[in-house]
Structure 1
Amino acid sequence: MRRRKSLNIQFVWTIFLILVSTSLISGLIFLLFMKIGIIKSFSGYPMLRLGITLFSCVIIGTIISMIVSKRILKPINDLVKGTEEIAKGNFDIYVENTTVNNELSALIDSFNSMASELKNVDTVHNDFITNFSHEFKTPMVSIRGFAKQLNNPDLSEIERQESVAVILEETERLSNLSMNILLLSKIENQQQLTLKKTAFYLDEQLRMCILLLQELWEEKNIDWSLELTHMSIVADEELLTQLWLNLIKNAIKYSKQNGVISISCYAFGSDIKVIVKDNGVGMSDYERRHVFDKFYQGDASHHTMGNGLGLTIAARIVQLHSGKINVKSKEYEGATFITILPTK
């Protein structure tokens, strides 16, 4: 990286060059006036000659300063205009960096970086609102339609029960969406220093999470393969419970009937590695790259209920604990979620 020049030194050099240029030009003009005899005519007026010299220096120095300042102040003026655009909500702004490698150049680079980040945040915010509106609207339309159908006096008892079942299912979906939005909002604004870290046994926590989801995996007759090393971890117990519930629930959701889910945890250097693996429908490369994105639910042909926030929440919880999470998967070959967390 190039060594950054001080803006103070450059400013001093600029003033110095302006003064030197003014002196040289004034001197040349003075010599020219002497040659054509104008100065000689004022030989008896020393103060007048001094006044003419100073006046010419002021005029020439001012002209040179105006020319130089226009170039020097252009990046600052561009920054001011860019800041005004940012204040108006226009984040699609870029200030061209034509300055040398100094503090002003660093300021322009930081401004462009800030504008780019704000643009990304604005895009994510707009996408979030769009996706949330869609996820909220779909069950509402379904509930409204089946509620209207219940008013039909000619509706059979079987059709009435089916309508009630759909309304209950969509209501549950809305409830889960609301809780996940609140949880995501909470953890996205939570700092590491506010984590309620305590020591607890990770293997016991994983077994408890499996029991909490018993109703779901019994419906699919899921078999379990567990290799859980008895080990302690210092972390936010409530958030880690949510992490494992989301990963295990995701594995159950995409597992086939009579499928097998394997969970293992063991020491990995100074960290702990937890692996949740299913033999379900798997993911394409595109789905795998976007699986942690908000509201992303993969292939719609899977026909699974969800709101696309579970894995987003899981990734954020891992991040809060300074850990890592990734997924390995191929279509129709299941998925493996690998989580690495520090023990302390």
Structure 2
Amino acid sequence: MLQALPADLGFLAEVLRRYPVRVLFRGEVLPEGPLRGERLWEESEIALYWEGPPPSQEVREALRLLLKVFREVLELRERELALLKSQEETSRLLGLLLHEIKNPLMSVLGALELTLEVEGLPEEAKELLSIAEKSARRIQDLLNKAREYLRLGQGVRLKSERVDLKALLLQVAEEMRPLARRKGIALRLILPKREAWVYGDREWLYQAVLNVVNNAIKYTPEGGRVAVRLLVGPEQYGIAVSDTGPGIPKEEQERVFEPFYRASTRGEVEGTGLGLALVKRVLEAHGGEVRLRSRLGQGSTFLLLLPRPRPGQRAPVGRLLLLMVALIALARLPIFPAPLGSKAFGEVPAGEVVRLPGLELAFSPEAKGEARRWRSLWGGGNRVQVSLEGGGVEAVRDKPLPLVLSTPEGQVRPTGTHLRLSREGGARLSLYRGKVALGQETLPAGEGAVLGKGVRRKLLAAPVVRPVPGPEGEVVFRLLGPEGTRAFRVEVRSGEAVVLSAKVEGNLFRYLPQADRLSQVRAMALDEVGLEGYPSDPVPFRERRSFYEGRKRLPQDPAGAEAFLRRAVSAFPDDAEALGELAFALYLQGRHGEAKPLYEKALALLDSPDIRVRYARLLYHMKRYGEAEASYRLVLAGDPGNLDARWGLAEVVLALGRAKEAELLARQVLAMEPSYPLARFTLAKALLEQGRREEAKVLLREELRLRPHPEVAELLNRVLGTP
């Protein structure tokens, strides 16, 4: 066993600091003091005493596992320390050699540079000296990269600072452009508009990106192209460096990241074989990775992936990159019980999307059952078990993370899969990718099963989902399923939450917004036994709760509608509909001056007929008849059947004194829609302007019969000559 007992016991005490325990190991007690309380566990030379109230079963299990693992770790650390000692001696010797070689090499380079500047040297001598200088500089480059690679593997402390990736890539491109110009290579940098930053060591990240871009330019033939793109994903940033070089054979693509390995297609181009190895170490030290996609004769793309900081995440305090076998092994041992999502340990996190390394679990809002997760105290070693009693869960598993899903009807052990498991009227499993063990059989991708019934069948294809705006701000989704569809499962997600999971019998689903946020909807076609087919692609949409509430209050409560619509505009400042509705609420309150700029902003974002017709009506009431007429005619040019625009234009031209034209427009509206509100009133006003009182009386009486309105009654009284 390990001899350095105090250090190891201190490590264990730090791990157990959250519990009221004392550990007895080889006669040593930690923390120091008398042993009291219940002896929870004893094996060989280790005993654990609990000094507080009786612990829960979960805590007992966690501590038992911890002590068991600790004994194994002690043996592992003994072997690891011996290995580290050997590695440290080798690294120290290598570092000393690199330092000792560097000094005489600088002298040689200096002497060569001075000699080459001497006038009158024979050309043959100059050529030989140039070859010598070139070789010396290559050795210098090799030494520098070897020292960097060695530093990164020896536990160098990485700085933790906010790194602006856009600024970093601009600096790399600026440094590499002269080399690209000399080779006649087009270097293109493509950056997103939004900001992109990570926490890390800027110096090392800069060196890693520089190495990849330098390689791309160096190995691309003259006249080729190199593109550097910054990609923004939901969980990661990607820096993609693409070239039109010779490409790398498939069988060599894994080895190009090994130290001193150079691909067979590199030809006569000089290199050390350390650049990409350094890139790999830097990315992994920052929690990222580097990927390669290449085809012979068609170039290569290197993708550098870095994790995006989560909202509210603080900058980490700088970590020591320790390449120690024991800590890596310990970090993967699942020894500590932890909750899954925001719920307490043992509870299914209904309505949550839980993301772990290599695993995503999305639980429906009505999910019930038990969920258990075990992990190490360093965040690795996840193991998840879910016992589902109701609702559903979707699992996307990309790494070998232990996962067990079970229902009263049976257990599911997926291997690299994407699946859905639900318990609506019995357990149903839909497998989209990978394999699943069902008892002694294996369910292949593209099939589903009713657990406990022996029913297995092919899954239905993904339906088509088309959103249609509802009349009050809700969203209506039209669902088009494949042949054999009996119903649909519709799921709405927003951020880390499954907002809704519902079964829909028809092909229309009306969704009432619950908040102001960006959401996504997906649908699955259900067959006759209730198996959920392939999910459709997510359809993003704006969930506008404030807009929905404000729209419902118009026009009967414009002041109340205004309050909601202002919240909608605050949540979505570029939402033309929300701006237009807010302007309409202000118009109904007579606040024309405030409404006008809002209408104009809305039209700049979306020149829709509805917004423009209302804007023209506002201009009419502001007596800006010329502008109102132009707006109405613009709508009619695109949509001659727009009755609101035709009636509004009749009102405008009547105000401008063109009664005959107003009569014609009003008659056109009534011909297309005899019950159009106030069309008879407008026609009656146009007839009165032409002295046709009897015809106007008939129209006004008819309008009052169909739709009583104070303005109509007032005009009729004036025509009849009654008070």
Which TM-score bucket, shorter chain as reference?
A: 0.5 to 0.7
1: CA distance, partners of 2:300 / 2:233? 21
Corresponding residue for residue 43 of structure 2:
6
Gap change, CA 1:159 and 1:196, over 3 Å in 2: farther
Q: 1:103 offset after TM fit, Å? A: 8.2
- 1:209–1:241: 8 Å Cα contact kept in structure 2? yes
Corresponding residue for residue 217 of structure 1:
180
SS at match of 1:173: helix
SS at match of 1:213: helix
Does structure 1 residue 288 correspond to structure 2 residue 325? no
Q: 1:207 offset after TM fit, Å? A: 2.1
For 1:219, the aligned partner's letter is R
1:169-180 equivalence runs, <5 A: 169-180=134-145
- Unaligned stretches of 5+ residues in structure 1: 10-101, 151-155
Corresponding residue for residue 162 of structure 2:
198
Corresponding residue for residue 227 of structure 1:
190
State which structure, 1 or 2, has the greater radius of gyration over its C-alpha atoms.
2
For 1:207, the aligned partner's letter is L
2: CA distance, partners of 1:116 / 1:287? 33
- 2:237–2:306: 8 Å Cα contact kept in structure 1? yes
Corresponding residue for residue 21 of structure 1:
none
1:19-57 per-position Cα deviation (integer Å, ceiling 9, x unaligned): xxxxxxxxxxxxxxxxxxxxxxxxxxxxxxxxxxxxxxx
1:222-258 per-position Cα deviation (integer Å, ceiling 9, x unaligned): 1133321142313322111111110000101111110
Does structure 1 residue 316 correspond to structure 2 residue 281? yes
Does structure 1 residue 264 correspond to structure 2 residue 229? yes
- 2:236–2:308: 8 Å Cα contact kept in structure 1? yes
Corresponding residue for residue 330 of structure 1:
295
1: CA distance, partners of 2:235 / 2:204? 21
Gap change, CA 1:118 and 1:208, over 3 Å in 2: closer
- 1:6–1:103: 8 Å Cα contact kept in structure 2? no
TM-score by length of 2: 0.28
Q: For CA contacts below 8 A with separation 6 or more, give which structure has more relative contact order.
A: 1
Aligned residues: 235
For 2:181, the aligned partner's letter is E
Does structure 1 residue 237 correspond to structure 2 residue 274? no
1:100-157 per-position Cα deviation (integer Å, ceiling 9, x unaligned): xx889947984897599779969x98xx97xx99xx9xxx9xx99xx9xx9xxxxx93
For 2:188, the aligned partner's letter is S
- 1:7–1:103: 8 Å Cα contact kept in structure 2? no
More strand by share: 2
- 1:223–1:261: 8 Å Cα contact kept in structure 2? yes
- 2:173–2:189: 8 Å Cα contact kept in structure 1? no
1: CA distance, partners of 2:86 / 2:294? 28
- 1:318–1:341: 8 Å Cα contact kept in structure 2? yes
Q: 1:332 offset after TM fit, Å? A: 1.9
Q: 1:274 offset after TM fit, Å? A: 0.9
1:131-146 equivalence runs, <5 A: none
SS at match of 2:253: helix
Corresponding residue for residue 446 of structure 2:
none
Corresponding residue for residue 167 of structure 1:
132
SS at match of 2:262: coil
Q: 1:297 offset after TM fit, Å? A: 1.6
2: CA distance, partners of 1:302 / 1:335? 15
SS at match of 2:259: coil
For 1:224, the aligned partner's letter is L
1:177-219 per-position Cα deviation (integer Å, ceiling 9, x unaligned): 1221222222223456x4241342x122212212212232122
- 1:191–1:320: 8 Å Cα contact kept in structure 2? no
Gap change, CA 1:121 and 1:282, over 3 Å in 2: farther
- Unaligned stretches of 5+ residues in structure 2: 1-40, 47-67, 116-120, 310-723
For 1:167, the aligned partner's letter is A
Does structure 1 residue 246 correspond to structure 2 residue 225? no
- 1:281–1:332: 8 Å Cα contact kept in structure 2? yes
1: CA distance, partners of 2:305 / 2:269? 28
Corresponding residue for residue 207 of structure 1:
170
SS at match of 2:251: helix
1: CA distance, partners of 2:271 / 2:231? 30
Q: 1:309 offset after TM fit, Å? A: 1.0
1: CA distance, partners of 2:191 / 2:208? 17
More helix by share: 1
Gap change, CA 1:108 and 1:187, over 3 Å in 2: closer
1: CA distance, partners of 2:82 / 2:219? 37
- 2:216–2:241: 8 Å Cα contact kept in structure 1? yes
TM-score by length of 1: 0.56
Gap change, CA 1:198 and 1:326, over 3 Å in 2: same
Q: 1:183 aligns with which of 128, 144, 148?
A: 148
1: CA distance, partners of 2:270 / 2:42? 59
2: CA distance, partners of 1:160 / 1:319? 47
Q: 1:330 offset after TM fit, Å? A: 2.1
Q: 1:277 aligns with which of 216, 222, 242?
A: 242
- 1:273–1:338: 8 Å Cα contact kept in structure 2? yes
SS at match of 2:248: coil
- 1:275–1:338: 8 Å Cα contact kept in structure 2? yes
- 2:246–2:265: 8 Å Cα contact kept in structure 1? no
The farther-off stretch of 106-115 and 204-213 is 106-115
Q: 1:288 offset after TM fit, Å? A: 0.8
SS at match of 1:291: helix
Q: 1:169 offset after TM fit, Å? A: 1.2
The Cα RMSD (Å) is 4.2
1: CA distance, partners of 2:251 / 2:149? 24
- 2:219–2:266: 8 Å Cα contact kept in structure 1? no
Q: 1:298 aligns with which of 263, 267, 270?
A: 263
SS at match of 1:303: coil
2: CA distance, partners of 1:296 / 1:198? 33
Corresponding residue for residue 79 of structure 1:
none
For 2:185, the aligned partner's letter is I
For 1:266, the aligned partner's letter is L
Gap change, CA 1:7 and 1:307, over 3 Å in 2: same
Percentage of matched positions with identical amino acids: 22
1:53-100 per-position Cα deviation (integer Å, ceiling 9, x unaligned): xxxxxxxxxxxxxxxxxxxxxxxxxxxxxxxxxxxxxxxxxxxxxxxx
1: CA distance, partners of 2:69 / 2:152? 36
